[in-house]
Structure formats: C-alpha cells, structure tokens
Chain A
Amino acid sequence: MPTWKEKLAGRMDPQIAEEVDVFETQIALRKAGKMDEKVFAETRLRRGCYGQRYDNGHRHDGVRTQQLEFPSDLTKGPETFWDAPGMQRIKIPFGGLNPDQLDTLAELAEEYSDGILHVTTRQDFQLHYVHIEDTPNIMRRLAAVGITTREACGNSVRNVTACPIAGVCRSESFDVTPYAKAAAKFMLGHPDAQGFGRKFKIAFSGCREEACGLTSLHDVGCIAATRSENGNEKRGFEVYVGGGLGAVPQQAKLMNDFVAEDELLPLIQSIGRVFARLGEKKNRAAARLKFLITKLGLDEFRRLVDEERKILPADSRWSSYIPDVARYQESPKHGPTHLNGQQRPEGFEKWHLTNVYRQRQEGYAAAAITLPLGDLTAAQARQVANLARRFTGDNLRTTVEQNILLRWVSEADLPDLYRELGRAGLGEPGAGTILDVVACPGTDTCKLGIASSRGLAGEIRSRLSERLFALDESVRNLHIKISGCFNSCGQHHIADLGFYGTSRTIANRKIPHFQVVLGGKWQDNAGAYGLAIGTVPSKRVPDVIDSITARYVRERKGTETFQAFIKRIGKQECRAMIEPFMEVPAYEKDRSIYSDWGDPREFTIGDMGVGECAGEVISVSQFDLADAERLVFDAQLQLEHENYTQADSLAYRAMTQAAMALVKTQFIDVGDNADVIVAEFRSRFFDTGLLGDRYAGNKFAEYLFRRHDSPPQEHTIDQAHRIIEEAQLFIEATYACHDSLAERGARGMVVAPVHSGKAAGKL
C-alpha cells in the first residue's frame, strides 16, 4: 500500500512537499529526544499545530485536579505532552476556497479529527483533537489541493484576510482579492518575516466605510483606493499600521494615503524588516507592531520603513503578479437571472432577508451559510461543496463571522439552493444578525480560556433563534462577539455587545463571569473599540442582553445607532443597567451560577495552561541551526541506505546551513548561495577568530572549507561516514559560537544584527 506521500507525489507543490518531509523528520527528531522542545514548539506552531487545553496533563474534573496519564512523558514543547491531541489551524488566504478543497477538509476532519470543521474569526479552518503524528499526512493532503498550513500560528505572518464579498461588492473601489492573494504568497515563508517577536496580521478591504475587511485591527491594513493620473485611473492602497486587539487594543494608524499597487509588496516587506529588527523580542506582552509604533512614534516608524525600502534588494515578484490582476475573474456556473415567479419554499423570505447579498453584478447574489458557532460536519461540508459545484462554480469564501459564503448564485437558483441547504441542516436565517454570535474557542479547547465563550454563544443563539424576527429591526442587526479571556480572539471590542471571560471569587468560590464591553463599532472597518463597563456572572449574560437591547428600543431617538445610544446615555448609566445582574446568590441557594454554560463541573480556573498564541521567540539562526542538525540526520539515513553521494551532499548542506546561521546574525541578506555563505563565514567568523574561542571551532571550520573547495572524487562509505562526523562537529562549534554571542549580546557586547549588505557599510 503506498503512503500518502507516494500517492500524492507530483500533485503537491515540490517546495511544500519538501517542507512537510522536513517537518516529519523534525517530529522524529523530537521523538528521539534530538530536538529541543522549545525549538520544536515554535516549529510546529509555524506549521499551524497548536496545543489544546489539558495538554499539560492537568484537568479539573469538577471535584479535584486530576493527572491525565498520557502514555509517554515526551513533550511537544514546555508543558505540552506529546500524546495530548491538539489543534491544527489551516490557513485560507482571504477565505477563498473551492469545492475540491472543501472535500479534502471534510476528509481530514473525519479521519484525523472529530468530524467537525471549524471556521475561525480570521477566515481559517481548525481541526481539533489531532495527533501530531498525523499532521504530516494532513499537510500533504492539503498541499495536494493547494493549501498550506505554514505560518498559521507562531511568530509569523498569519492568514491574510479580506472582505468576503470582494469582487462582488456594490461599494468597493476595486476587487482586492488578487492583491490579498499576492501578499499572502509573497510573505509566506519570506526570509524577512522569520525573525518576528510576535505574530503579524495583514488585512485587505475594498472600501473604508463598511466593516468587512476589519483593517483597523490589523498590523497592516490595506484599503483599496484609486487616483487619477494623466486621465488614467491608477490603483493603490491606503495603508494603515499598528492595529491589533488583545489585552491592549489599538486602532491602526494611517501611514500612507496612497501606495501605488506596485509599491505595496515592497512596503509590506519593509515594514516586516523594521519589525523584525526593532520589535520587542523578550517581553511577549509588548511585542506586537503596535507597541513598536507607539514607542517610536508614527513619523519615525515611517522614516525607518522608507529607509528600509530604499535599500531593499529589488524583487521581480513585487510587480510580476500585476498583469494578472486585470485578468483575475471568477466565472459563475449559470447566467444571470432574476428571482421572479419561482416557487418560494417556506422560510425562504426570512433567509433571503438576512443571508442573501445582491451582487454588484446584475442577476447574481452571494448567499451566506449560517454555521452555528462556526462549525459544520464533514458530511455537511461535502454537501456544501456539491452545492457550490451545482450552483456557483468555484466560488466559496469563509467569513470573519465564521460563516461560509457562496458567491455568484444566479438569483433564480436561490429557492433551490435554500431548499438544499435546509436538507443539509444549513438553512438557518440570521447571518450577520444578533443571532450570528461570534465566539473564540474559549474553555472548550483553548489553554488560556477562562470562561466558556462557545457555551454562552450557544445559549444566546438558542434563546434568540425563536424570536429573531420578532425583535425590533434595530436590535436584530446588532453584533455580539465573545472571547473566553482578555486576549480577544473573538474580537469582542468591535461588537455592539462584546463579552470577554473572567473569573471572580466570592466566599472562596470561583464564579465564571464576563466583562460587558459596549460601544464597539463594526462599520468603518471596525472603526471604534468598545470599553468594558463591568462584569456579570456568566449565567446572567443572556438577561443582560435582553435588558440592554430592550432599553435601546425604548429610548432610541430616531435612527440612532446602538453605539450612539451607548455614548449618549454614558458610562455611569451603562453600568447602572447591568448592576442588577451582578449579584451572586449564595452557593447553597443557587449552585447553577457556580458553573459555566454547557459545563456542569463546578467552575475553576485551575485548567488554564501556558498559552500558545505563539511559542518562544526563537531567532532565525536557531531555526537554521536546528535545520542543519536535521540535514545531518537525513545524511545518516542516506548512509544507512548506502546512498553515499546523497549522504555527502546532505552533510555538506548541513555545514553550509550552520555557517549561514552564524552569518545571518550579522548579515541577514546573505542568501543561499554556498560560495557567498562560505566567503562571508570565512571573513566574519574564521578570520576574526570569533568561531575559535570554544571547542576548537576554527579547526572544525576547516572541514567546511575543505569540502567546499574540493568535493570528493569518489563517494564511498568511509568518505560519507567521515563527512557526517565532520559536519556534526562543525555544527557543535557553530552552536557554541551562537550561544557565546548570545551571552555576550545579553551583556550588551554585541550590536543588533545588521540588516543588509549596504546598510552594513553604513553602521
């Protein structure tokens, strides 16, 4: 029986296929105790493999904290047991998906996860309860349909998001899809994006006014803009920087009011370089780009980015995609029609009202599939893929509201589509309404979760679904977003009614609570963040929602928005509104309040673990050194299989890789040409004696020079054996040198890495 690797060979992008092989070796190395747990943790995170709750082996079972006796003691990172199943995040740039990809996702959910696909608040998919050993095959099967999980987590460029209606929107300047696609491709694995102290998020929006792109909460937000030059329309972007949610949310600031399309990628690259060089690395809590911009000031940041731009080595990819932009087009399955006279099934009108968006293109509509809590089963996913094939062609998008959008539905097909969705259990109305509650994973699976965001969201949904259309229209269209803790993965700041989980202790007992966050603005690309007004017990939140919304309906002036209403009545009054719900009855009187939604265990925060919003900050050089070790390991495997030529070449590559790791600490743009690496290494580390101060490093460097200058004439077992030994010793020496440089750096003796050849001359 062939393996997935063999079966899919030729269908995977060769580079991704190789990356997955490398990851599989890294898994084997970690299993054999040959890879450091911290480096492995950041390595797996950069491939989208997160930890999950209880993976530290502790679980509160409602009575006591229990040790989960996993079969082995091996870890996947500090305090993360190897055998604890984890989460796999799958990156979907701009949420764009075709039916074959959805079919594959469904297969993976069935075979490796729990049969469920979960759509996240940044247009990704997640699979839960996945074993690390299964991840290479998951990645291969995804690669075969053009999906990578690379950099889905970790200190890297995360999924590039965009308005799900880009290209069909009635108010956009132009379709941002091809630009989002190009940015995602360009930054994926880019050497300038490997040395970040924290994650880096990019979003695209087609206009300034609507919410869809949520650019203001991103590190880099790009809003489509056009300019007229000599009578020609020129495309470009308003670029905003330094936005982000999290414990200290910040609105992105306008850095440049018009960046021409061909300057967009170099600008993002330059921002990445400045962030990699100057961003905080030690204190995770202050490591996002927003903190660097606050520290430097926007003007100084802009100046540094401009300087960086000037010295960037030119790259043809900056503009090579632009000729394709004009050709970018989605082709509908059926011609344009109108909804006219077709028989409308029961419930259709309501669904049509909330879930259907009339496209800019006459005769077409985009239909949202409401996914409760962002979840759908593998069987449903296959049904959706088939409906897409039947009605729309290849045009599916995930949305930040955790739904799926079918674009280019010919309008007369809508009743049939609705009927079919109903059959699949996916015909619920209410997309984008108060019913469509967004929630992060919370205590269900997240190690940092304090309260049950999904449990609360489920409860709100089931209470409101009956009365959705009885609600006043002004209330029906409000947004509720819930995070399980202050980290705000559920984007609670930008909801009308936001909530984040917290805990309060009363009479020695812990009670799950939510902070109530009011006044956030969804429009204007998440134009304003709400503020917390007080905490209420988790079990009181649905009553709080009823009470606040009822008052809004009663006291609303004309067409006053909810946000304006909250501002008008003021903080004091807002707090007064929730005060009646803050009271906690004695344990003996009402125990229900001492446990969370959907979880009958008595509440505790004892299950919280170390958060994996990313792993440790691992320098680019540490990764390169770990890679060098892996290459020697691969060389050994080849030796074992009597492939001496390959063993020699891998061992040699391992040495140049290790040399490159050291050179990069001084000269990040060294590239991967062996001649350049060896020359730079010789002048910077050998001639200067930097390598020589421990473990006879200089002697070991001779091994590299000898192999580089005179490759073997004959490949024999002895030669292969010897070079593997030499490579190993050389790597030891580079490690020792790296550590001693790092120590000296910590004592203030080494300057920050120099970023490019030209700049090196200047410094």
Chain B
Amino acid sequence: MELHRLGVKFFASDPASIHLEDLIPVFHGWIQRQVIPGHVLIDVHDYSHIQNGPGILLVAHEGNFSLDMSDGRPGLFYYRKTPTALPATEHIAAIVKSAVQACALLEKDAKVAIKMDEGLVIANDRLEAPNDEATLAELKPAVAAALQQVFPGAAFNLSRANSDPKERLAITVQRV
C-alpha cells in the first residue's frame, strides 16, 4: 500500500469553550512565525459558516490543519497531502507528530485543550485504501507501530470507525 494521504484527528477536551473566530488570528500568527516544522504554512480559510465543517483551516503546502467540527466533535485535524519519502510506519508517525505539535501549539496560543487519549486516523485515499476489512488488517499494524513511536510505552485500542464503503477507512484510536 502506497498510502501517503492520511488524516489524524484529536478531540477537544471542552467543546463548549471553542469560539472558532478566535482561531483566525492564531493561525495567522503561526504563518507569520512558520511554527510547524517541515511545513510551508500558506493560508487561513474561514469555514465557520458551515455546520460540522472544517471550521477554521490552516493550509500548508504539505497538508491541511484545521480546528475541525465534523460529526459535531471539535478537534484538531491534520490531513497530509504530499508524500514524505519515509516507509509506511514512519510516514504515519510523522503525520501523528505534526498533529501533536499542532495540538500543543493550540493549547499554548489559543487555550484550546486537546485530549491525547482518543483520536481518529483516516486513510484518505479510496484507491489505495478502500474501506474494507482487508485494508484495515493491513493498515492497523502500521498505525499501531507509528503510535508506539510517538507515544512510547502507551497502549491503544484500534477499531474500525465505520463500514460504509462510500466513507473512507477510519480507525478509532483509544488509549487504554
């Protein structure tokens, strides 16, 4: 599987405390300081007018970060769009790391706390990773190994988030 298009989401601890518009200046500040390693941060896009949408988006050449509102569960989403030239596990680990970095920045600059004990990994490529058991079986070990790299010693439960073939393959990650 040559899967470089992957997304990782961590959920906000206190959804009620989030005011999307407040994120706009924060993300502009990140672009000013180019604070996310390995990323060329380009633009901020306001999607707050859409229910359960991408909220406020921070666009980088390498992928999109957002304070995402999908499924009515706010959180930090990072979608990788470009390849990293790393092997599968390291590639996933790099994506998780970028998301974790963004979460830390969010907490520091916007006072939005993100929980690290629950997340979502989405294979954002219907060709390479159709939403079926076979792909799940193939992807799961790489995701588990990547999580081990980023959170050494922690144990996680991985389960398939939905089985609708039109949806993307998504894995719910729960810390145990």
Contact = CB atoms under 8 A, between A and B. Distances in A.
Nearest to A422: B51
Contacts of B47: 114, 116, 375
Contacts of B52: 377, 379-380, 425
A2 B1 CA distance: 11
A86 to B, nearest CB: 11
B45 interface: yes
A455 to B, nearest CB: 7
Contact of B124 (A110, A116, A377): A110
Contact of A598 (B46, B66, B70, B126): B46
B24 A599 contact: yes
A1 B1 contact: yes
Given A62-B32, A110-B124, A458 B50 contact: no
Contacts of A62: 28, 32
B82 A131 contact: yes
B53 A116 contact: yes
Interface in A1-56: 1-4, 7, 53-54
A53 B42 CA distance: 9
Nearest to B59: A129
Contacts of A54: 42-43
B166 interface: yes
Interface size class of B (residues with CB under 8 A): 35 or more
A1 B3 CA distance: 11
A461 B48 CA distance: 12
Contact of A444 (B21, B45, B54): B45
A4 B70 contact: no
A599 B48 CA distance: 13
Nearest to A111: B124
A377 B54 contact: yes
Interface in A41-100: 53-54, 59, 61-63, 66, 68-71, 83-85
Contacts of B21: 598
Nearest to A137: B127
A584 to B, nearest CB: 22
Given A458-B46, A600-B28, A114 B168 contact: no
Contacts of B143: none
Given A110-B124, A601-B28, A425 B64 contact: no
A375 B168 CA distance: 21
A61 B32 contact: yes
Given A111-B125, A116-B53, A444-B45, A598 B24 contact: yes
Given A7-B127, A377-B70, A53 B43 contact: yes
B28 A376 contact: no
B93 to A, nearest CB: 21
A372 interface: yes
A129 B42 CA distance: 10
Interface in A420-438: 425-426
A7 B126 CA distance: 12
Contacts of A627: none
Interface string A594-625: 00001111000000000000000000000000
Nearest to A598: B46
Interface of B: 1-2, 5, 21, 24-25, 28, 31-32, 40, 42-54, 57, 59, 61, 64, 66, 70, 81-82, 124-128, 166, 168
23 contacts: A1-B127, A59-B31, A61-B31, A63-B32, A70-B40, A83-B40, A84-B61, A85-B59, A85-B81, A114-B54, A115-B53, A116-B47, A129-B59, A377-B70, A379-B70, A380-B50, A425-B51, A444-B46, A445-B45, A454-B46, A455-B46, A598-B46, A601-B28
